[in-house]
Amino acid sequence: MSILNELFHLLLLLPLTLGTKNYGDALAKSILFYDAQRSGRLPSNNPIPWRGDSNIGDCVPGGWHDAGDHVKFGLPLSSAATLLSWSLVQFKDGYEKAGQLDQMYDMMKWVYDYFLLAWKPGQQKLCVQVGDGDADHKYWGRPEDMDMDRPCKFVSENTPGADIAGGTAAAMAAGSIAYRQKDAAYADKLLEGAKSLYNFAKGHRGVFTGGAPFYGSSGDADEMCEGAMWLYKATGDQSYLNDTMSYVDLGVAWGLGWDDKKLACQGLLYEATEEDQYKRAVEGYFKNWFPGGNVTYTPCGLAWRIKWGANRFTANSAFMALLAAEMGIEPTKYRKWAVEQINYFLGDNNHDGGCFSFEIGYGSKFPRNPHHRAASCPDPPAPCTNDQEKAPGFSPHILQGALVGGPDKDDSYTDVRTDYIHNEVALDYNAGFQGALAGIVHLQAVGKMPATNNKCPC
């Protein structure tokens, strides 16, 4: 019977491998990256053999470590969860076609459960950070071995943080839609949590400043906009849509990331209302990002916005382009651009002779030294200390699915563990990337894959 199951799985993936890229495999690996970031007591089905229980004494257990460190930061955590939930809502068939739907639900429940524990409606208090950023960043070792104090930070009636509260409400509301058909009771819990958290954020505006200097937000209107919009999608309650319209900024966004959800809210509003003002805002964004706009392009064709973690902004934009195409905004053009950007990540570049994947574990050439503590540590009982950060040779563990920060604007890239500008990995780096992969598999499933023309094909 197991042989038949294996044959069935291979047949399921066969349509995904007929082209030059196996997007289903890349999608499966990205899910594994989030599993590798798990904090807390791991379940029996943990798919990452070199990870074990960690930080089980946290005031709010569970959730995901932020990046190569072990802090749980509320703003990038909620931002990543919202984009991932959006991908599950919009491109569920992509996960299904790739044979990854159950794995995605399992992966996402880990963070949804964390949000349900972090928000205490009776106390009007949300935990927005676990761990001390400064102390954590001085520690290079396994999360399983940590014994330092991990203080918690909260937003409450006396400590504003509507940016994180609104963003977390958005993630929970989107999660309730994603879970509605699978587990209605769980979806109800997420929705009730999202409603009460959004109401708290609405009554206590302002950004959280207690996490400085890490992930300081420039404002809370974009997260409130997202929170209201996802609650409207989950409930159909017009009052949430009215709130969204009061929060939205119609200016052209610089990028989509943990600190700026402007583009996401514009797109959601266009989807809901089909009003031209929101469509023009989305089109204005991609006019800047497409060739001829104000975003730099590398010689091999990567839309390169910024040196630090260039891939994340491009990946998020590719995901949004696929979503915009589903809304009817120049589908052929937007899909072609998005797939070409993902193709660059998966090998259509000239690094290391070409065919180099910026997603760890995909293909035969990929980064082996991400700026990631757990992956750099040898198996116990061998010690793992600060010396491991600069240790020669490949990291002992392959951090499957992680999208590294990416190349410089001339396509150059060095696989060095100490280079956190180009070789960092993080929750927010993979979110839009994974969403785009699910979107591409969806296009394959419905026969709408665009013809592409990458400059440095593998």
Assign residue 297 the CATH number of its domain: 1.50.10.10
Which pLDDT score, from 0 to 100, does residue 106 have?
A: 98
Quickly count helices (H) and strands (E) in the chain: 17, 6
> Which residue is it, tokens 């949300």?
126
Residue 343, pLDDT above cutoff 80: yes
The number of folded domains in the chain is: 1
Residue 104, pLDDT above cutoff 60: yes
Give the contacts of 8 (CB within 8 A, at least 6 positions apart): none
Across residues 420-447, what is the average pLDDT? 98
Give the model confidence (pLDDT) of 282-322 as tens digits.
999 999 999 999 999 999 999 999 999 999 999 999 999 99
Residue 17, pLDDT above cutoff 60: no
Which pLDDT score, from 0 to 100, does residue 13 have?
A: 42
What is the spatial distance between Cα 125 and Cα 156, in angstroms, rounded to a whole number?
5
Does some domain include residue 375?
Answer: yes
What is the spatial distance between Cα 65 and Cα 84, in angstroms, rounded to a whole number?
16
Average pLDDT value for the chain: 95
Q: What is the 3-state secondary structure (H, E, C) of 296-346?
A: EECCCCCEECCCCCHHHHHHHHHHHHHHHHHCCCCHHHHHHHHHHHHHHHC
Give the model confidence (pLDDT) of 215-252 as tens digits.
999 999 999 999 999 999 999 999 999 999 999 999 99
Give the contacts of 102 (CB within 8 A, at least 6 positions apart): none
Does some domain include residue 456?
Answer: no
For residue 423, the one-letter residue type is: N
Does some domain include residue 454?
Answer: no
In this prediction, residue 10 has a pLDDT band, given cuts at 50, 70 and 90, of very low
Which pLDDT score, from 0 to 100, does residue 20 have?
A: 82
Does some domain include residue 8?
Answer: no
Hey, which residues are catalytic here? Answer: 415, 424
**Which of 137, 66, 77, 68 minimizes the C-alpha distance to 397?**
68
Residue 195, pLDDT above cutoff 50: yes
Residue ranges making up the domain that contains 177: 13-446
Across residues 140-155, what is the average pLDDT? 97
Does some domain include residue 251?
Answer: yes
Which pLDDT score, from 0 to 100, does residue 279 have?
A: 98
Across residues 76-101, what is the average pLDDT? 98
Residue 180, pLDDT above cutoff 50: yes
Across residues 313-333, what is the average pLDDT? 98
Does some domain include residue 453?
Answer: no
Which pLDDT score, from 0 to 100, does residue 208 have?
A: 97
Does some domain include residue 137?
Answer: yes
- The CA R_g of the chain, rounded to the nearest whole Å, is 21
Residue 149, pLDDT above cutoff 70: yes
Which pLDDT score, from 0 to 100, does residue 8 have?
A: 36
Across residues 410-425, what is the average pLDDT? 97
Q: What's the distance, Cα to Cα, between the start and end of the chain in Å?
A: 37
Does some domain include residue 452?
Answer: no
For residue 364, the one-letter residue type is: S
